[in-house]
Chain A
Amino acid sequence: MHPDRAAHDPSPARAAARPGDGPEEGAWYPCSWPDKFTPVAQFLLQGGKVLAVTLTGDAVQAKNGSMVAYDGQMAFKKMSGGGEGLRGMVTRRITGEQLTVMEVKGQGTCYFADRAADISLVRLSGEKLHVEASNLLCTEAALRTGTTFTGVRGAAQGSGLFTTTVEGSGQAALISDGPAVVLRVGQGTPLQVDPGAYVAHTGDLRQSFQSGVSFRTFMGEGSGEAFQVRFEGDGLVYVQPSERNTLGGEI
């Protein structure tokens, strides 16, 4: 943990908070932070399923309705997904994606969680993160989000041909059903992923559609072929220990 962050841990999860054993006033809160502190949202995981974001006047974007609690002053603003401007409008039109994002701005600590999903923090420094729209919980204001065409995997998932991209420098929080496993794909070690377990990827990766997996069983049950996504190149793939329901990916 970053030493600065440890010192200003805004929210001691399960702190001893019995009456008479109360916390020292002001020990954790941003109001006691030095003036020279630059307003950058601090992301901190609370036990894997709750994200605490400390704001000092700056803003983050988060999945709509994912706020579970906050202290201090917060303002919420509805935003539409797909990025800003004309491009965002066009992609929204094409994808039909009702990406509901809210902007949270204020002073204090805001806690985010979504249906007990596990959260992974990703720190980006200039590269691009591809993520299923439903798996993105929160991004720093400095990051740009957009939509890209990914074709292949989308087809297998039947959930549209587009995924969300996050670009820039800053932190993003991903959610997954169960803690995500991060797998490195390198030269000579391509990776096959069940489309229902795919969460996100970064790096220079080529995706291809693999349907060479057959189930020949009695009476033709499951004679439909299972789809997998093959990642080749150099990068990281996030998978979750769970499968969304997919039409393909029967294994």
Chain B
Amino acid sequence: MSGPTGPSGPAGPGGPAVFDFHTLPSDDNVNPYTFCVDLHGQWFLQKGKMIAYFGQISFNGIGHGPLDRLVSGSFHSPLHASDWVVAEGQGKMLLADRAFDVNSYDLEEGNLTIRSGNLLAFEPTLSLKQSIIPGFLTLIGTGKFVAASNGQVHFVEPPVRVDPQALVGWADCPSPCHHYDHQYMRGVMGGVRALTGLGGASGEEHQFEFSGAGSVLIQSTEVLMPEQATGGVPQQAGGPGGGQQGRSGQPGRTGGQTPRMPGQLGDLQRRFGL
């Protein structure tokens, strides 16, 4: 990259690199928290995740008429339709999510299931479906998608037991089953909880157990990334929003819901899948 030409030259020693339309990476990370999509055509994009773009790009809601064919081919999650838009055109588009780590993943005739709040964008060559596990989405086919995580994603191979709240997703292996740690539940806290109902569920007494061959994706948090209601089973550990109420008092990035415009039905609408 050539040095700064104008009077403004902050890219001196120790300064951040400067990117222009041409030097921005193509379908790659700009830094660990920003991903650049080189758009030629269409991408599905979760609302609020585009921070800047060069070029001619238009954004339309999933329900927009001319996109019907695209949506019927690739987007099979009516519960999430109101959270997604289609970016269409030519240009370079930067994606980010509340300074969380972002990464792209390539699927080749494969499938990967991911927590709905972690998925930022995907190519229409992939098909999106709702997973049988509440709060998770499954991507099937060949193509690229972009996902966020709190801290870098760590890949582990089964057999492994994972705190449901630290789970980002899984690929190739069978869907997980529940595992309860009886020793923990018999312990002091478990006893207190059983008697008083206080304390909430924690990852030590209930995990998702993975077996078989494949990969499990883990993020380093016990606080769920704030996510949109996904029509799952509320008040249940491991489900979307499960135990979230009790945790919302924790510091960090909880409760980052975007304000709603008047007249929006918001979560209610999502829940009914309208």
Let me know if B72 is at the binding interface, CB within 8 A.
no
| Segment of B94-102, B151-159, B162-170 in the binding face | B94-102
Which B residue sits closest to A197, measured CB to CB? Answer: B51
**Do residues B258 and A182 form an inter-chain contact, with CB atoms below 8 A?**
no
Known A127-B8, A241-B31; judge A213-B81 contact (CB<8 A): no
Known A1-B14, A236-B10, A240-B99; judge A191-B54 contact (CB<8 A): yes
Let me know if A226 is at the binding interface, CB within 8 A.
yes
**Do residues B51 and A234 form an inter-chain contact, with CB atoms below 8 A?**
no
- Chain B residues 73 to 130 lying within 8 A of chain A, measured CB to CB, are 81-82, 85, 94, 96-99, 102
**Do residues B33 and A179 form an inter-chain contact, with CB atoms below 8 A?**
yes
**Nearest-Cβ distance from residue B181 to partner chain A, whole angstroms:** 33
**Do residues B7 and A127 form an inter-chain contact, with CB atoms below 8 A?**
yes
- Chain A residues 162 to 186 lying within 8 A of chain B, measured CB to CB, are 177-186
Q: What CA separation (Å) do A191 and B57 show in the bound complex?
A: 11
Across-interface contacts of A222 in B (CB, < 8 A) = 47, 61, 82, 261, 264
**Nearest-Cβ distance from residue B72 to partner chain A, whole angstroms:** 14
Q: Determine the main DSSP class of B at the interface with A.
A: loop
Let me know if B13 is at the binding interface, CB within 8 A.
yes
Let me know if A192 is at the binding interface, CB within 8 A.
yes
**Nearest-Cβ distance from residue B53 to partner chain A, whole angstroms:** 5
**Nearest-Cβ distance from residue A155 to partner chain B, whole angstroms:** 16
**Do residues B19 and A247 form an inter-chain contact, with CB atoms below 8 A?**
no
Specify which of A186, A226, A241, A250 is in contact with B20 (CB 8 Å cutoff): A186
**Do residues B51 and A240 form an inter-chain contact, with CB atoms below 8 A?**
yes
Q: What CA separation (Å) do A217 and B263 show in the bound complex?
A: 13
Let me know if A235 is at the binding interface, CB within 8 A.
yes
Known A121-B14, A221-B82; judge A192-B53 contact (CB<8 A): yes
**Nearest-Cβ distance from residue A29 to partner chain B, whole angstroms:** 21
Specify which of B12, B30, B60, B263 is in contact with A181 (CB 8 Å cutoff): B30
Which B residue sits closest to A45, measured CB to CB? Answer: B14
Q: How many A-B residue pairs have CB under 8 A?
A: 186
Q: What CA separation (Å) do A123 and B18 show in the bound complex?
A: 14
Q: What CA separation (Å) do A245 and B256 show in the bound complex?
A: 8
Across-interface contacts of B7 in A (CB, < 8 A) = 125-127, 203
How many chain B residues sit at the interface, stated as a range, is 35 or more
Q: What CA separation (Å) do A183 and B45 show in the bound complex?
A: 22
**Nearest-Cβ distance from residue A250 to partner chain B, whole angstroms:** 6
Across-interface contacts of A193 in B (CB, < 8 A) = 51-52
**Nearest-Cβ distance from residue B229 to partner chain A, whole angstroms:** 14
Across-interface contacts of A215 in B (CB, < 8 A) = 47, 59-61, 85
Known A182-B17, A182-B18, A218-B274; judge A202-B52 contact (CB<8 A): no
Specify which of B4, B18, B60, B99 is in contact with A216 (CB 8 Å cutoff): B60
Specify which of A1, A125, A186, A250 is in contact with B258 (CB 8 Å cutoff): A250
**Do residues A251 and B64 form an inter-chain contact, with CB atoms below 8 A?**
no
Across-interface contacts of A216 in B (CB, < 8 A) = 60-61, 63-65
Which B residue sits closest to A219, measured CB to CB? Answer: B274
**Nearest-Cβ distance from residue A177 to partner chain B, whole angstroms:** 5
**Nearest-Cβ distance from residue B49 to partner chain A, whole angstroms:** 8
Binary B-proximity of A42-76 (CB < 8 A = 1, otherwise 0): 00110000000000000000000000000000000
**Nearest-Cβ distance from residue B93 to partner chain A, whole angstroms:** 9
Q: What CA separation (Å) do A234 and B18 show in the bound complex?
A: 13
Binary B-proximity of A202-218 (CB < 8 A = 1, otherwise 0): 11100000001111111
**Do residues B19 and A181 form an inter-chain contact, with CB atoms below 8 A?**
yes
Q: What CA separation (Å) do A239 and B34 show in the bound complex?
A: 10
Let me know if B48 is at the binding interface, CB within 8 A.
yes
**Do residues A189 and B51 form an inter-chain contact, with CB atoms below 8 A?**
no
Specify which of A178, A214, A220, A226 is in contact with B263 (CB 8 Å cutoff): A220
**Nearest-Cβ distance from residue A179 to partner chain B, whole angstroms:** 5
Specify which of A177, A219, A247 is in contact with B99 (CB 8 Å cutoff): A177
Q: What CA separation (Å) do A127 and B156 show in the bound complex?
A: 50
**Do residues A213 and B58 form an inter-chain contact, with CB atoms below 8 A?**
yes
In the complex, 12 of the A-B residue pairs with CB atoms within 8 angstroms, ordered by the A residue number, are A120-B10, A178-B34, A181-B31, A182-B10, A216-B60, A236-B18, A240-B96, A241-B99, A242-B96, A242-B99, A243-B98, A251-B85
- Closest 4 CB pairs between A and B? A178-B99, A241-B96, A217-B61, A197-B51
